Chain A
Amino acid sequence: MENFKETDLKQLRPGLWATVNERYPGSMITKTDFVPLARLKKPLPESRIAFISTAGVQPKNSLPFDTVHPVGDYTFRRVPSRSKPEDLEIHQLKYPTVGAKRDLNVIFPIERLQELTEEKIIGELAPNFFSFIGYNMDALKLEQTLAEDLADAVEAEKPDGALLAPA
């Protein structure tokens, strides 16, 4: 199996990358160490799938994400995968939530994933999905704290595969 080579590195949207780096200096980092490709070990109809999102989606009445902190919030929330959209809310300042307010599935497609499971296209959903906010200005802390904590929490759900979605 061919793995990613450093020579293949290509910034898909260099203009956007430069703009964000200008507005939030140093916040855009370059990663050159790609993890090996991990394949599903079971067919999808037998697999347990997790979903992880930076959309800042959380159960109502859970501690809101800290959207005001100048350096960001390095916590995550568990979102029970059986939740209904009306049980959830978004705390996130930095992306347009106009569509999500009318239909959460545009950014956190929980109902579509539930339907695909009912139809047996997906074996089952992990008991919890996960969400955090993307405004994190300390990339090292993001990697060493949030990403590590989140990886442990996801692994505890014993998924066979995970879908990761930005906001």
Chain B
Amino acid sequence: MSLNYLNEAVESGDTEQLIRYVRLHFGDGNEKNGRKEIDKAWIEALKLLLDVPATDREFILKTLGEKDAATLAHLFFHLHFYFVGRSGEWIHDGEL
């Protein structure tokens, strides 16, 4: 089972297998595409902050302070796809 495989990777500290799994998820089974997708999301996030627009830091700090780590991890995955979507280059076959 894939989850067992991931748990084994966590236990043995095999971080390469873990990040490979993330890349495969983001790249729809293609690791190279997954790397590009991760870059794309970060580039999009960076671009949005270059003009130093006003942002809701209170919301950010409140969320980070109040929400559990698992919820924030889940949000992290959502944010990846959110920024990929904003980039206008959608490689995935389906929709969120």
- In the complex, is A directly touching B at CB under 8 Å? yes
B74 and A69 contacting across the interface, CB-CB below 8 Å: yes
Main secondary structure of the interface of B (DSSP, over half): helix
Q: How far is the CA of A137 from the CA of B29 in the complex (A)?
A: 13
For A66, give the chain B residue with the smallest CB separation: B74
Whether B5 sits at the interface, judged by CB under 8 Å, is: yes
Chain A hits for B2, CB < 8 A: 24-27, 137-139
Chain B hits for A97, CB < 8 A: 93-95
A68 and B4 contacting across the interface, CB-CB below 8 Å: no
Given A68-B78, A70-B21, A70-B25, is A25 in contact with B5 using a C-beta cutoff of 8 Å?
Answer: yes
Contact mask A79-93 → B, CB, 8 Å, 1/0?
000000000001111
Min Cβ gap B10→A in Å is 13
For B3, give the chain A residue with the smallest CB separation: A138
A26 and B5 contacting across the interface, CB-CB below 8 Å: yes
A26 and B1 contacting across the interface, CB-CB below 8 Å: yes
A26 and B24 contacting across the interface, CB-CB below 8 Å: no
Whether B92 sits at the interface, judged by CB under 8 Å, is: yes
Report how many residues on chain B are interfacial, defined by Cβ distance under 8 Å. Answer: 24
Given A23-B29, A68-B81, A70-B22, is A90 in contact with B95 using a C-beta cutoff of 8 Å?
Answer: yes
B29 and A24 contacting across the interface, CB-CB below 8 Å: yes
Chain A hits for B28, CB < 8 A: 93-94
Whether A29 sits at the interface, judged by CB under 8 Å, is: yes
Q: How far is the CA of A26 from the CA of B6 in the complex (A)?
A: 9
Interface centre among B1, B17, B80, B92 (most CB of A within 10 A): B1
Chain B hits for A20, CB < 8 A: 29
Q: How far is the CA of A51 from the CA of B94 in the complex (A)?
A: 21
Q: How far is the CA of A96 from the CA of B94 in the complex (A)?
A: 6
Whether A75 sits at the interface, judged by CB under 8 Å, is: no
Q: How far is the CA of A64 from the CA of B95 in the complex (A)?
A: 11
Chain B hits for A95, CB < 8 A: 93-94
Q: Which residues from 21 to 67 on chain B have a C-beta closer than 8 Å to any C-beta of chain A?
A: 21-22, 24-25, 28-30
B96 and A26 contacting across the interface, CB-CB below 8 Å: no
For A136, give the chain B residue with the smallest CB separation: B2
Chain A hits for B3, CB < 8 A: 26, 71, 137-141
Min Cβ gap A91→B in Å is 6
Interface residues of A (CB under 8 A from B): 20, 23-27, 29, 56, 64, 67-71, 90-98, 137-141
10 residue pairs from A and B, CB less than 8 Å apart: A56-B94, A68-B77, A68-B80, A69-B74, A70-B77, A92-B95, A95-B94, A96-B94, A138-B3, A140-B3
